[in-house]
A and B are shown apart, each in its own frame.
Chain A
Amino acid sequence: MKNVIMMKHLKYFLLIIASIVSVSIPLSAQEKVLPIDSTEVIAVSSDAVAVNVTDAPMEANINIGDSLMEFLDGTGFAMIARNWKILVMLLISFLLLYLAIVKKFEPLLLLPIAFGMMLTNLPGAGLFTPDLFANGVVHWEQFSHAGLLDYLYLGVKLGVYPCLIFIGVGAMTDFGPLIANPKSLLLGAAAQIGIFATYIGAIALDFLPREAASIGIIGGADGPTAIFLTSKLAPELLGPIAVAAYSYMALVPVIQPPIMRALTTKKERAITMKQLRSVSKSEKIVFPIMVAVIVSLLLPAAAPLIGCLMLGNLMRESGVVERLSKTVQNELMNITTIFLGITVGATATADAFLNMKTLMILGMGIIAFGFGSAGGVLLAKFMNLFSKDKINPLIGSAGVSAVPMAARVSQVVGQEENPGNFLLMHAMGPNVAGVIGSAVAAGILLSMLG
């Protein structure tokens, strides 16, 4: 059986060789005649005079060796050999694909990001042209040479995708625990310290203020917000920041528990919280309208994010647009996620990604996450000094957005000390407050530095 297959392969191989030889020999042996235009043909046919072929300009002989070398030189392999950075980028994209598929680290986003990264680094394919978006401006006049990913990237550049994703996030979020316990908003605010502490750190590392703000927003643990702000303030850093934000969001169960344990005592972790009050439907309907109006009036720059988040939530809570609610939660969210992931990955070209800045961004991203988690826990401890109804400080770490992963981490760590303690619903309050908090922080940074 094996021999038969081998013979077949050998047959095809010999056929290919034979066809190459049969084509190349006549090409090299004879002169090629240029195409004759129609007037010449008419003249020739009417006068019945033979055209002297040798009078036509001659074309250089084609040399097999040169042609082959030219062909090989034009392949992606040769381009990779000339620029090792491309190979490194391809390897990074393979690593991210591995993490997404095998380790299941935020696969919904990491998979398209990694594939986008792979596509953009395939040399010569021309799927993404960073020059079209150079200096933070869209060069519309050059769009005739645009590739597929350039068109899709416009959604990121114009801030469309993050807002569409926020509609879906709003439609999937239950703000009930937050309405029942408004103090959770304080924990959500405290967790934003990660953003501002990292901003200072990035400034110290000689980043420009706009770049520092974009790096700091990683601490908000909110992918769409990070992409929204970075696309406005430092679009050249979009690739590393998006990869850092989503990678660390996937690593929340690894990053947060040691910080939570280090900052709390066993007794504090075992605190059982009072049952939350029930929230009426009318409260849930008025809440998104009220928040959208008040936050947008206070911070117009945050209006696109908060407005979309609350629109999605109103669709969910009103109960009158079930079809729209389902669509934004599923189809719209999924389509936008694909486009967002693939285009954000596409910005990670070798030149933009492989530099010291990326390493520093990755380093500061994890610090931002740590500070954010610690901020929430410490404020919860501080509130316990004055509060009659004790708060379990573990829910403070859920103040970084990362919905609902961070709330789940609070629940798991809490149950290690007291298996009968159910912190999930309590942690959902600061968790959704973190989404509002990071959108507000992004609006503030945008209005100050934009």
Chain B
Amino acid sequence: MILLEINWTNALNITLLGFGIVFVVLCLLILLLYIFGKVMTPKVRVPKAVRTPKGAKVEISDDTEFHKVQLPANASAAIAMALHLYYSDVHDQDSHVITIKKVERRYSPWSAKIYGINNLVR
């Protein structure tokens, strides 16, 4: 009896509309993310020609050595790490100069020696 009294039209409308809107909003985000990915993904540009030390221009085609080189994963990781250290200005060598700086201690009743002395404590 309870089931018959319920306004199923409203309930189904809210369910279908609600679930549909969730999909539409997230599909819109997918679309934007694809566009966003195409625009913002960093691209590595392969030059069409390179100059030899003698100054002669050499065309690069798909079958030249430049394209055939396949780097192993560990070499790629090492190069990536080196680039990261270089661009982030992070050094794996320090200056070898060790300086001990005197840290100034500000006065505070919390750290004052006079308040720390308690004659009652033996």
Name A residues whose Cβ lies closer than 8 Å to a Cβ of B: 178-179, 182-183, 185-186, 188-189, 192-193, 195-197, 199-200, 203-204, 206, 209, 212-213, 277, 280, 282-283, 286-287, 290-291, 294-295, 298-299, 433, 436-437, 440-441, 444-445, 448-449
Contacts and interface: CB of A to CB of B under 8 A. Distances in A.
Contact of B26 (A185, A282, A445): A185
Given A280-B40, A280-B42, A199 B11 contact: yes
B41 interface: yes
List the 6 closest pairs (A to B, CB-CB), nearest first.
Answer: A182-B33, A189-B26, A182-B30, A185-B26, A203-B11, A196-B15
B60 interface: no
Interface stretch (B16-24, B94-102, B108-116): B16-24
B18 A437 contact: no
Nearest to B24: A298
28 contacts: A179-B33, A182-B29, A182-B34, A182-B37, A185-B27, A185-B29, A192-B19, A193-B19, A196-B18, A199-B15, A200-B15, A203-B11, A206-B2, A206-B6, A277-B37, A277-B41, A280-B42, A286-B40, A294-B29, A294-B32, A298-B25, A299-B21, A437-B22, A440-B26, A441-B18, A444-B22, A445-B14, A448-B17
B58 interface: no
B43 to A, nearest CB: 11
Interface of B: 2-3, 6, 8, 10-12, 14-15, 17-19, 21-23, 25-30, 32-34, 36-37, 40-42
Secondary structure type dominating chain B contacts: helix
A395 to B, nearest CB: 16
Contacts of B22: 189, 192, 437, 440-441, 444
B6 A203 contact: yes
Nearest to A180: B37
Secondary structure type dominating chain A contacts: helix
Given A185-B26, A294-B28, A440-B25, 8 more contacts: A186-B27, A189-B26, A196-B19, A280-B40, A286-B40, A298-B25, A441-B22, A449-B14
A186 B36 CA distance: 17
Nearest to A203: B11
A195 B33 CA distance: 25
Contacts of B42: 280
Nearest to A190: B23
Contacts, number: 99
A179 B41 CA distance: 11
A283 B10 contact: no
Contacts of A298: 25, 28
Nearest to A207: B6
A440 B32 CA distance: 17
A290 B17 contact: no
A286 B41 CA distance: 12
Contacts of B23: 186, 189
A54 to B, nearest CB: 54
A441 to B, nearest CB: 5
A17 B22 CA distance: 71
Contacts of A294: 28-29, 32
A391 to B, nearest CB: 14
A295 B26 CA distance: 9
B30 A183 contact: yes
Nearest to A438: B22
Nearest to A184: B30
A280 B25 contact: no
B111 to A, nearest CB: 23
